[in-house]
Structure 1
């Protein structure tokens, strides 16, 4: 999956002619990623890294087409991060999701910066 998405240039996702290709690829590969992220096999570090790489390339290649899948992706990322905290790949893919979708009004409140977190020492 990662190989297929890696051949799609990021700029291609903004071209109208590329829409059909990107949507077709998402339709083919999304059910596989969906089952993989929801499976117990994600405890394997190598598999988690590979799945996260494929997901990050899918997010970057399909940009606006990925918005409908974002709620599921955010759910999986948070669940898998809690279950497998030693796999830092979930933090990396979360940062990619923030880069791509943090500007959207409906998802902006989900993302906070360190400036948004009150400093406990200053309150003393």
Structure 2
């Protein structure tokens, strides 16, 4: 049957098919090499990370190659994924807070410059806060 398919294909198509099979075999060898130690708790998580797959795709792929995954490995992968998501959320929040603080600092500096300029031009001080700013800057 394989010979019949080969005869039906043009030389260009046959070459493409041969390359596809080579890639498939290389991928299979790579996955089998990666998954030598199936008892390792972090196998599924490492596989998901290495091949940029979500859990269901990773399980499906490993199942295609008859690699058994335990409940502990699934639980470990989910736990690590949640930890990474929490860490990323923390980083985003810290970045947002830093950005907000910088914005507030810039606004305060602009306000300070405005108060000083007004004091120099008119000698006018409206609030206690402004008088504190003037005292810090000039005296």
- TM-score with structure 1 setting the length: 0.31
Q: Highest relative contact order (Cα 8 Å, sep 6+), 1 or 2? A: 1
- TM-score with structure 2 setting the length: 0.29
